[in-house]
Structure 1
Amino acid sequence: MKLIFLGTSAGRPTPERNVMSVALRFPEERNRFWLFDAGEGTQHRLLGTKLKLSKLDRIFITHMHGDHLYGLPGLLTSRTFHDGAGKLRVYGPKGLADYLGTVLRVSEAHLNYELEVSEIEPGDTLDLDDRFSVETAELDHRIPCIGYRITERPRPGALDLAALARLGVPPGPLYGKLKRGEDVALDDGSTILSSEVVGPPSDGRIVTILGDTSPCDNAVKLARNADVLVHEATFGAGMEEKALDYGHSTITQAAGIARRAKAKRLIVTHISARYGEEEVAAMVAEARKEFPELEAARDYLEVGVTP
C-alpha cells in the first residue's frame, strides 16, 4: 500500500507544486488505486506516474473548493479513452452530484463506463469491500469538509511452510484455502486445520487523509493510531490567527494533531504558494520539535504504508 502525492499546493499551483490530489495505490491488487481530491491538472500529474485511469475505481472528495475539485470532470471524461475502465464510484459532500451532473450535461460528455456518485454525510462509515472500511467526520473549514480514515481489516497470518511440508500439504491451491482460514482434506484422508499452519492475524494498516481544516477534535479522532496521517499545513508557525480566519492549520498545529492522535507518521501537504522549498524545509525542522516523524509532501512523493 503506497501514497503518491500528485498535488501539494494550497489554493493555486506553483512551478513546483500542483493543487491538491493524493493517490492510494494497492500494488498487491493489480495496481488498483483510489484518489483523494482532484484539483485542476490532476490528470496531467497522473501522466508522470505509473498509475493508469483504468485501475482507478474510487474517488473521495473532501470539499467543494476548486483546488480540490476542478480537475475531476476532465479526469472522468479522459477515463473513457482507457481500455478496461470499469465502474467508478465517487464519494463526497452535498453538491457533488449536482456539480458533476451539470458539467457533464452542459459539455455533452459521454462516459462509456458506469459512474456512481454518492453524497455522504460526515459520520458515515463506508464498508467498501472485504478488505477496507472508511470512516468519515466533519472537519473545521469555511465550508463543509470531510476527513477520511481508511482502515484495512486484520490480515491473515503467515503460512508456516515448514509445518506444511512436514504434514505433506502440496504447494498450490490448498495453501490459499488454509491461509483464508479453511480446513482442508488431503488425498490420504487426513484433515489439516488452518490453525495448525497459519500464524495469528496481524492488524490492518490505517491511513488518515484530511481535507482543509483548523485544528479540531475530529481530526484527532480520525487520526488515532494511524500508520500515516496526511494533514494540511497551509501556513508556517506564528500565523495561527490567519490560519484560523481561513479555516486552515499551521505546520506546528498539524504536528500537534499528530502527537495528540499518537499517529506513527505525519505527511503535511496543502502548503501555501508563498513558501519556497528552503522555507518549507525550515518549517519542517521547527515542527519536528513537536512531532519528529514529520515530512513535507512534494509532488510525486511516494510513501509506503507499513504497520
Structure 2
Amino acid sequence: MELLFLGTGAGVPAKVRNVTSLALKLLEERNAVWLFDCGEATQHQILSTSLKPRKIEKIFITHLHGDHIFGLPGLLGSRSFQGGTSLLTIYGPKGIKEFIEVSLKISETHLQYPLEIIEMEEGVIFDDGQFKVEALPLDHALPSWGFRIIESDKPGTLMAEKLEAEGVFPGPHYKELKAGKSVQLDDGRIIHGPDFLGPDQKGRIVAILGDTRPCENAVHLASEADVLVHEATFSGDSSEMAHRYFHSTTLQAAEIAKKADAFKLVLTHISSRYGKADWNTLRDEARTIFPDAEIANDFLEVPVPYRSTGGASLK
C-alpha cells in the first residue's frame, strides 16, 4: 500500500504543483489503484509515473470545486483508449453524476467499460471484507467529504517452530491450522489452530480529507490513522483567512492529527502563494504541534507499511 501524490496545489495549477489528485496504490493487496480527486491535467501527471489508468478501480471525489474534478472527463475517456475494460466506480457528492454524464454526452465520449457512479451518503460507502471505506461530511464552502480507508485485520503467522516441536512438519495440516481449524494427527492427538498462530496483524488505516475548516468529523476519520492526508492551504499565521475561505492552516491540520492520535500527517493542497523556499517553513510549523508531519509535493510517494514494521516512513 502506497500513497502517490499526483497534484498537491490549491485552486489553480502552478509550475511546481498541479491541482489535487492522489492515488492509493493497492497493487499487492488487490492489483488495483484508487484515485482520490481528479483535478485538471491529472492524466498528464499520471504519464510521469508508472500508474496504468486501466488499473484504476475506484475514484473518490471529495467535492465539486473545479480543481478537484476538471480532470475527470479526460481521464475517463483515456482509460478506454488505453485498454481499460473493467468496471470503474466513482463515489462523490450529489451532482457528480450529472457532471460526468453531461461531460461525456456533449463530447460524445463513449466508454468501452462499465461505469458506476454513486452519490454518497454519510457512513460506510464500500465494504468487501478486505477494505472498508467510511465517508463523512466536512466543513467547506460547498459539500466536501473525507474518507477513512480501513484494511481488515489479517490472521497471525503460523508458528512453525512450535509445531515442529510437537512433531508436526510442513504439510496439509499447516493450511488447516493456519485457517484456525483443529486437526487430528496420525498418533491420535488433536491440536487447535489458534494455539499455533501469532497475534493478528492489525490492518492499516488511511484518512484522506477534502477541503475543510477544522471540524470534529475530521478527527473521527483520522482516529489512529497510520497516515492522515490533510489540506494545509495556508500558513499558521493565516487562520482568519483560512476560516474565511473554508480552509485550514498548517497548525490546524497538525491539531487534528494530534487530537486523532494519528501516526503520520502529510500536508497537501498548498496555496501557490508559497514557493519552494517556504515549504520547509510550513512543514516545521506543523511539527511544532505534531512532530511526524511532512509536506507533500507532486510525485511524492508515501508507503503505508504495517505498524509493526516501523510506521509509514517517506521515500
Regarding TM over 0.5, the answer is yes
Counterpart for residue 14 of structure 1: 14
In structure 2, how many angstroms separate the alpha carbons of the residues matched to 1:197 and 1:19? 50
Q: May I ask how many residue pairs the two structures share in their alignment?
A: 304
Structure 1, 59-68 or 159-168: larger mean CA deviation: 159-168
In structure 1, how many angstroms separate the alpha carbons of the residues matched to 2:84 and 2:158? 34
Counterpart for residue 24 of structure 1: 24
Counterpart for residue 235 of structure 1: 234
C-alpha deviations, 1:235-290, integer Å up to 9, x for none? Answer: 01111111111100011111111111111110000000111111111121122111
Cα RMSD of the aligned pairs, angstroms, is: 1.9
Say whether residues 1:276 and 2:275 are aligned partners: yes
Once the 2 structures are TM-superposed, how far is the Cα of residue 185 of structure 1 from its aligned partner? 6.8
The amino acid that maps onto 2:108 is E
Asked if the contact 2:85–2:114 (Cα under 8 Å) also holds between the matched residues in 1, the reply is: no
Once the 2 structures are TM-superposed, how far is the Cα of residue 83 of structure 1 from its aligned partner? 3.1
Asked if the contact 2:63–2:142 (Cα under 8 Å) also holds between the matched residues in 1, the reply is: yes
C-alpha deviations, 1:93-137, integer Å up to 9, x for none? Answer: 00000100101111111111110000012x221233111111111
Counterpart for residue 298 of structure 1: 297
Counterparts in 2 of 1:14 and 1:185: CA distance versus 1, 3 Å: farther
Counterpart for residue 310 of structure 2: none
Q: What SS does the aligned partner of 1:51 have?
A: coil
Q: What SS does the aligned partner of 2:81 have?
A: coil
Counterpart for residue 4 of structure 1: 4
The amino acid that maps onto 2:265 is L
In structure 2, how many angstroms separate the alpha carbons of the residues matched to 1:190 and 1:12? 69
In structure 2, how many angstroms separate the alpha carbons of the residues matched to 1:56 and 1:191? 47
Structure 1, 149-158 or 189-198: larger mean CA deviation: 189-198
Say whether residues 1:131 and 2:133 are aligned partners: no
Counterpart for residue 79 of structure 1: 79
Counterpart for residue 102 of structure 1: 102
Counterpart for residue 159 of structure 1: 158
In structure 2, how many angstroms separate the alpha carbons of the residues matched to 1:139 and 1:42? 24
The amino acid that maps onto 2:90 is V
In structure 2, how many angstroms separate the alpha carbons of the residues matched to 1:151 and 1:105? 35
The amino acid that maps onto 2:257 is A
The amino acid that maps onto 1:73 is P
Say whether residues 1:249 and 2:258 are aligned partners: no
Q: What TM-score do you get using the length of structure 1 for normalisation?
A: 0.93
Q: What SS does the aligned partner of 1:59 have?
A: strand
Tell me, which stretches of 5 or more residues in structure 2 are unaligned?
308-315
Once the 2 structures are TM-superposed, how far is the Cα of residue 192 of structure 1 from its aligned partner? 5.6
In structure 1, how many angstroms separate the alpha carbons of the residues matched to 2:30 and 2:119? 28
Q: Describe how 1:189-200 pairs up with structure 2 within 5 A.
A: 193-200=192-199
Counterparts in 2 of 1:84 and 1:13: CA distance versus 1, 3 Å: closer
Asked if the contact 1:169–1:186 (Cα under 8 Å) also holds between the matched residues in 2, the reply is: no
The amino acid that maps onto 2:197 is V
In structure 2, how many angstroms separate the alpha carbons of the residues matched to 1:127 and 1:144? 20
In structure 2, how many angstroms separate the alpha carbons of the residues matched to 1:42 and 1:181? 45
Counterpart for residue 49 of structure 2: 49
Once the 2 structures are TM-superposed, how far is the Cα of residue 180 of structure 1 from its aligned partner? 3.9
Q: What SS does the aligned partner of 1:141 have?
A: coil
Structure 1, 63-72 or 25-34: larger mean CA deviation: 25-34
Counterpart for residue 180 of structure 2: 181
Counterparts in 2 of 1:34 and 1:189: CA distance versus 1, 3 Å: farther
Asked if the contact 1:53–1:85 (Cα under 8 Å) also holds between the matched residues in 2, the reply is: no
Tell me, which stretches of 5 or more residues in structure 1 are unaligned?
none
